[in-house]
């Protein structure tokens, strides 16, 4: 192991953007290396996870989680190696995962920190398919969407960290799976490499309703909603009686300066007896372990594939994050340190 340097870099939030974030909303700064105290560890970060929820933490608004303060390190999940330990749960050399922020080294050791088994899959997956996004897909689809064999599932942001896993689990469940994604490359990937039955390129299609109906000849039984907005309006207009909607996220609105208005579709929910439920992945925290084991087995047997989009260097994090919110990422967005 190389010696721990005297300083390291981190990214702090310096401004709350009203709409789309800019690189100037962040500052990359070099600071002295922290020293772990009793009960703490020092972690050398290997990968930082960039996720849409981090846009919400830039806003000073009531939410299920507290905002990042101005001048504070941006929040984010990491996977890394313990390089100093003052905590008997972790030893030097352990690979660990926790939400330690956008920085090259971090103090950890909280109860939320878990040891990652590097024999399961590459350690970057602890931020993706075998981490928060993977658990979101697993529980959001199976427990909230409750698909049955032979049903049709539609998932939006289909090539992304959550969407790609949702669709593949849907196939394992014996369902027809239709993705919605932006661009021919993303659609070809989910169909040809991940085995979805069809994919609708919402950026190219003029009539989303018509294309969705053609891809879903028996209608839509389960909608896994990652995006909200017009895509979701089109899916909901075509949902079946007793359909289910797993409300996972609404990324199409995360940079909006005013709450968007749109067609009011709640009448559909009544007439078709649709059940929609929002969820946060941590609702299922007590069940992660067996789910991770199951997902690990699916990866080993080749039933579950994953795609990552990796940029290198902490200074690239703000630009990559802004790009992800625009759909420029192709797969789980990660920063390799
Ligand atoms: P991701 O899909 O890897 O990346 C974001 C993707 O969103 C982009 O690649 C882009 O794909 C799509 N997108 C961006 N702007 C859009 C727009 N205006 N309309 C439609 N699609 C747009 O991100 P992820 O980590 O998997 O997250 C997906 C969703 O799940 C987000 O809404 C996130 O907040 C949510 N989430 C929720 C939970 C929870 O606990 N409820 C946990 C994790 C994630 P295209 O190029 O295909 O448009």
Nearest residue CA, atom 28 of ligand 1? Answer: 226
Return the pLDDT at 263. Answer: 64
Return the pLDDT at 268. Answer: 83
Ligand 1 within 6 A of CB of 324: yes
CA of 270 to the centre of ligand 1 (A): 27
Strand extents, DSSP E, the chain? 7-13, 26-32, 41-49, 78-85, 95-98, 105-108, 114-115, 152-156, 176-181, 198-201, 220-225, 239-247, 275-278, 308-312, 332-336
Return the pLDDT at 58. Answer: 97
* Segments making up each domain of the chain, as ranges: 7-127+308-336, 132-282
Q: What is the dihedral of CA 18, 277, 202, 76, to 10 degrees?
A: 50
The CA distance from 20 to 145, in Å, is 31
Answer yes or no: same fold for 7-127+308-336 and 132-282.
no
Return the pLDDT at 328. Answer: 98
Strand (E) or helix (H) holding 169: helix 161-172
Query: 87: which DSSP letter?
Result: S
Ligand 1 within 6 A of CB of 212: no
Those residues whose C-beta lies under 8 Å from the C-beta of residue 87, and which sit 6 or more positions away, are 36, 39, 40, 41, 109
At 140, list the tokens: 């959001």
Ligand 1 within 6 A of CB of 226: yes
CA of 209 to the centre of ligand 1 (A): 21
Return the pLDDT at 210. Answer: 97
CA separation (Å) from 91 to 30, 86, 88, 96, 283? 27, 9, 7, 10, 29
Which residues are paired to 178 by β-bridges? 154, 198
Give the gyration radius of the chain's Cα atoms: 20
Ligand 1 within 6 A of CB of 131: no
Return the pLDDT at 63. Answer: 82
Please report, in tens digits, the pLDDT of each residue of the chain (337 residues total): 579 999 999 999 999 999 999 999 999 999 999 999 999 999 999 999 999 999 999 999 878 888 999 999 999 999 999 999 999 999 999 999 999 999 999 999 999 999 999 988 999 999 999 999 999 999 999 999 999 999 999 999 999 999 999 999 999 999 999 999 999 999 999 999 999 999 999 999 999 999 999 999 999 999 999 999 999 999 999 999 999 999 999 999 999 998 777 766 778 888 899 999 999 999 999 999 999 999 999 999 999 999 999 999 999 999 999 999 999 999 999 999 9
At 38, list the tokens: 């009793």
- At residue 133's C-alpha, the angle toward residues 323 and 247, to 5°, is 90
The CA distance from 195 to 178, in Å, is 10
Q: Which residues of 52-67 are buried (b: 16+ CB within 10 A; e: fewer)?
A: bbbbbbbeeeeeeeeb
CA of 189 to the centre of ligand 1 (A): 16
Return the pLDDT at 1. Answer: 58
- Cβ atoms within 10 Å of 223's Cβ, excluding its own: 28
At 135, list the tokens: 């658990």
Ligand 1 within 6 A of CB of 280: yes
Return the pLDDT at 120. Answer: 85
At 332, list the tokens: 């789980």
3-state helix, strand, coil split of the chain in percent (to 5) is 30, 25, 40
| Domain 132-282 = CATH 3.40.50.720 | yes
CATH of the domain spanning 7-127+308-336:
3.90.180.10
């Amino acid at each position: 192991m190389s010696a721990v340097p005297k300083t390291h870099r981190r990214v702090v939030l310096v401004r709350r953007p009203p709409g789309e974030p800019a690189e100037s909303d962040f500052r990359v700064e070099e600071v002295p290396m922290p020293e772990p105290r009793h009960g703490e560890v020092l972690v050398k970060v290997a990968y930082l996870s960039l996720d849409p929820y981090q846009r919400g933490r830039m806003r000073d608004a009531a939410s299920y989680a507290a905002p990042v303060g101005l001048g504070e390190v941006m929040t984010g999940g990491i996977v890394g190696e313990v390089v100093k330990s003052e905590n008997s749960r972790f030893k030097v050399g352990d690979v660990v995962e926790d939400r330690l922020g956008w920085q090259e080294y971090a103090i950890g050791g909280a109860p939320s920190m878990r040891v990652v088994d590097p024999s399961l899959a590459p350690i970057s997956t602890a931020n993706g398919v075998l981490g928060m996004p993977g658990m979101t897909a697993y529980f959001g689809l199976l427990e909230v969407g409750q698909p049955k064999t032979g049903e049709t599932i539609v998932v939006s942001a289909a090539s992304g960290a959550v969407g790609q896993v949702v669709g593949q689990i849907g196939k394992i469940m014996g369902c027809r799976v239709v993705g919605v994604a932006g661009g021919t490359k993303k659609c070809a990937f989910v169909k040809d490499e991940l085995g979805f039955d069809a994919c609708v390129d919402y950026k190219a299609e003029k009539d989303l309703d018509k294309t969705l109906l053609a891809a879903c000849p028996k209608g839509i039984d389960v909608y896994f909603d990652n995006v909200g907005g017009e895509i979701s309006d089109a899916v909901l207009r075509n949902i079946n009686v007793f359909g289910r909607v797993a409300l996972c996220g609404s990324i199409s609105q995360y940079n909006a300066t005013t709450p968007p208005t749109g067609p009011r579709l709640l009448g559909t929910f009544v007439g078709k007896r649709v059940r929609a439920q929002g969820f946060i992945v941590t609702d299922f925290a007590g069940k992660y372990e067996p789910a991770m084991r199951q997902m690990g087995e699916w990866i080993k047997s080749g039933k579950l594939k994953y795609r990552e989009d990796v940029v290198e260097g902490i200074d690239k994090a703000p630009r990559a994050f802004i790009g992800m919110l625009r759909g420029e990422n192709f797969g789980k967005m990660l920063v390799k340190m």
